[in-house]
Chains A and B, each alone.
Chain A
Amino acid sequence: MAKIIAGVGTSHTPAIGAAIDLGKTKEPYWAPLFKGYEPAKQWMAETKPDVVIMVYNDHVNAFDFKIIPTFGLGCGDEFKIADEGWGARPVPSVQGYPELASHMIQSLVLDEFDMTIVNEMQVDHGLTTPMSLMFGQPKEWPCRVIPLAVNVIQYPAATGHRCFMLGKAIRRAVETWNEDLKVVIFGTGGMSHQIQGPRAGLVNREFDTNFLDGLSKDPDRLAKIPPLEYLREAGAEAIELVMWLIMRGALGEKAREVYRFYHIPASSTAVGTIILESES
């Protein structure tokens, strides 16, 4: 049986990917951040998942404004890297798992989640930055990746509660796939940040700390945070944190925190990462 064994929450700030690509990880600005990710990377190297489900958002690279899916599941066998306007990141294409993704689609739709089926798309920094942070710079990624693109760009994103419920449905979908697979799910984006207007640069360490604590201690409370609270307390772009709740929902009732790191800033963002192992 396939099983979601763990979840990773991490920011996906594009400047982090650029720092890796340009060899700046040892510079004073970046060194503390990459040092903080070392144990997470080590955990991943030891865990060796067969499949990663990557919950991320596209930044209007794969989807322009013509069509904006609330939840788009990548069902293709390969996802190429998008050129976001400054050249595609020099990282390998992502190999999908169309058989499992198609099974997930059937299971999720019958579970009353109206998924958009995405057979072809390019993936941007929202997906590739977390891959680089957790897997380093290999020639090929060591596992298959099923992308789940969530609209968080045009308000409103799906609510935290809806995302949490989707995570639970994803767990059910994976557990009905008859193949021994270790699956790790990522929730990416955040943490507190605002990158627009006179209030740009806003971060809220207290909000972020409570959010990180809640993932293991009281995820039901986090799932009740209304959209307005993310915007007001943690910045207009902090709404991305709802994607972490898909990850958390997919871990089952109980999850144990095994690693956490928090750092301000990467560009305009408060960066957080957490690893949670499912105990369900």
Chain B
Amino acid sequence: MKQKPEAYEDIPGTWVFDAQRARIGYRLNEFLYSLMKAENRKEFLADERSYLMKFAMTEEQREAVMKRNWNKLLELGAVSYALAKLSFTDGKTYQFMASQMTNMTEKEYVEMMVAGGRSPNGWRTKQERGES
């Protein structure tokens, strides 16, 4: 990458959907948005790989879709609103997907939110979490 690292890349646990990420995720997001149509959801679920081959995304992106590796998909340019369509296709909720991103059960995640959510303390910089 020729671009200097952006200041927001220092925020832990977050993949900002910026212009570069939007660029690499363009076809991936196109696939995710195709799931807004019932007939496409049905076709995808019947044979995921064949359906994914219709979109000119990378093999790494296809693998991450099939594994429902949500955080990997964010890193590879999926936007969270589009990812939600995949979770709904699976008959799951947004909160289920969010709980998987945070390595919690859905129940634990919902309980955390009801108790006031995640505090920003300890989550502002990668440095304070000992991440590079």
Contact = CB atoms under 8 A, between A and B. Distances in A.
Contacts of B74: 196-197
Interface in B48-81: 71, 74, 79-81
Contacts of B42: none
A155 B102 contact: no
A197 B71 contact: yes
Interface residues on B, range: 35 or more
Contacts of A241: none
B114 interface: yes
Contact of A228 (B7, B35, B82, B113): B7
Interface residues of A, number: 42
A61 B32 CA distance: 12
Interface string B1-39: 000000110011111111100100010011001011000
- Residue from the set B13, B29, B83, B113 with the largest chain A CB neighbour count within 10 Å: B113
B82 A199 contact: no
Contacts of B109: 200-201
A194 B13 CA distance: 10
A60 B82 contact: yes
B105 interface: no
Contacts of A196: 14-15, 74, 80, 83, 98, 101
Interface string B100-118: 0111000001001110111
B117 A265 contact: yes
B94 interface: yes
Interface stretch (A45-53, A215-223, A230-238): A230-238
B44 interface: no
Contact of A202 (B17, B30, B82, B117): B117
A59 B102 CA distance: 23
A90 interface: no
Given A155-B19, A196-B15, A200-B101, A228 B117 contact: no
Given A227-B8, A265-B116, 9 more contacts: A86-B88, A196-B80, A198-B13, A200-B118, A203-B117, A204-B120, A267-B94, A267-B95, A268-B94
Q: Which 6 A-B pairs have the closest CB atoms?
A: A199-B13, A203-B117, A198-B13, A265-B113, A196-B80, A85-B36
